[in-house]
Homo-oligomer: A and B are copies of this chain.
């Protein structure tokens, strides 16, 4: 490991659990403590498998901050029963976030319902759902962070494709209740995103990092590149969110089959090294 200049370099570093999903929650916690990582982003499924309260105690006892819980969302269903189910699931996610003592629930808002081709209507259903969920979350000290996903996910995962679209949704709500995730992987290509970052200001609830590498794998979900391996000027984006007034964590979230096949602690050490060299 080169370039790692002590604890101060990692003050704002967070590792998302998915980056090293081969590690169990205790293994992840131990590795973080050992490598000086102060914070983690968690995912609902492994947290629930471990037990929400037990997970909360584990990370708290290790002195780790939980920067985000991933994820709520999928709010685009038209069918009333599915819609009610989605809202109930999001309330459960908010409860879990509160139990984990994180203030931020990441929202991946959902793709087009089957047989629909209407992106605008889907976005309006997201707004309607946020209106129901934001007060519930606020009462529990949880903020909803809308994550625009890369346009290649617009059909099947998230109809919110740009930071501008995410802000147009968020700005309908109080700034301490609904904000956005700035994730380099999803917005790096967008020439309007730098201005949107500046406009987002205190609505930047989370800053996530991954690099863009090609060729993309089939299904395109698990090809997020290790920091420094790809096309994104990561430091420039970090400087942009800083200039916008963001003082929170930089959470590295990589979905990458190649990284998942390796030793998780080794991958975490590599991520830290890359973060220090390419982000800070």
As a 0/1 sequence over residues 105 to 127 of chain A, the CB contacts with chain B under 8 angstroms (1 = contact) are: 00000001000011110000000
A96 to chain B, nearest CB (A): 29
Does A156 reach chain B (CB closer than 8 Å)?
Answer: yes
Does A33 reach chain B (CB closer than 8 Å)?
Answer: no
Partner of A161, one of B155, B189, B220, B231: B189
Cα(A19)–Cα(B162), bound, Å: 30
Cα(A120)–Cα(B150), bound, Å: 19
Partner of A189, one of B151, B189, B191, B215: B151
B216 engages A191 (CB within 8 Å): no
A195 to chain B, nearest CB (A): 13
Number of identical protomers:
2
Does A217 reach chain B (CB closer than 8 Å)?
Answer: yes
Does A219 reach chain B (CB closer than 8 Å)?
Answer: yes
Does A70 reach chain B (CB closer than 8 Å)?
Answer: no
Q: Which of A133-167 contact B (CB under 8 A)?
A: 150-152, 154-156, 161-162, 165
Q: Which of A65-124 contact B (CB under 8 A)?
A: 112, 117-120
Does A190 reach chain B (CB closer than 8 Å)?
Answer: yes
Return the chain B residue nearest A221 by Cβ.
Answer: B215
Given A117-B231, A218-B216: A151 in contact with B190 (beta carbons within 8 A): yes
Q: Is the interface of A mostly helix, strand, loop or mixed?
A: loop
Partner of A152, one of B117, B151, B162: B151
The total of chain A residues at the interface (CB under 8 A) is 30
Q: Which of A20-54 contact B (CB under 8 A)?
A: none
B189 engages A117 (CB within 8 Å): no
Return the chain B residue nearest A230 by Cβ.
Answer: B155
B112 engages A231 (CB within 8 Å): yes
Does A205 reach chain B (CB closer than 8 Å)?
Answer: no
Does A232 reach chain B (CB closer than 8 Å)?
Answer: yes
Cα(A112)–Cα(B233), bound, Å: 12
Residues of B within 8 A of A212 (CB): 154-155
Partner of A119, one of B191, B215, B217: B191
28 interchain pairs, CB-CB under 8 A: A112-B231, A117-B232, A118-B233, A119-B189, A119-B191, A150-B151, A151-B152, A151-B190, A152-B152, A154-B189, A154-B212, A154-B231, A155-B189, A155-B212, A155-B231, A156-B214, A156-B215, A161-B190, A161-B191, A162-B191, A165-B191, A215-B218, A215-B219, A215-B220, A216-B216, A216-B219, A216-B220, A217-B218
What residues of chain A have their CB less than 8 Å away from a CB belonging to chain B?
Answer: 112, 117-120, 150-152, 154-156, 161-162, 165, 188-191, 212, 214-220, 230-233
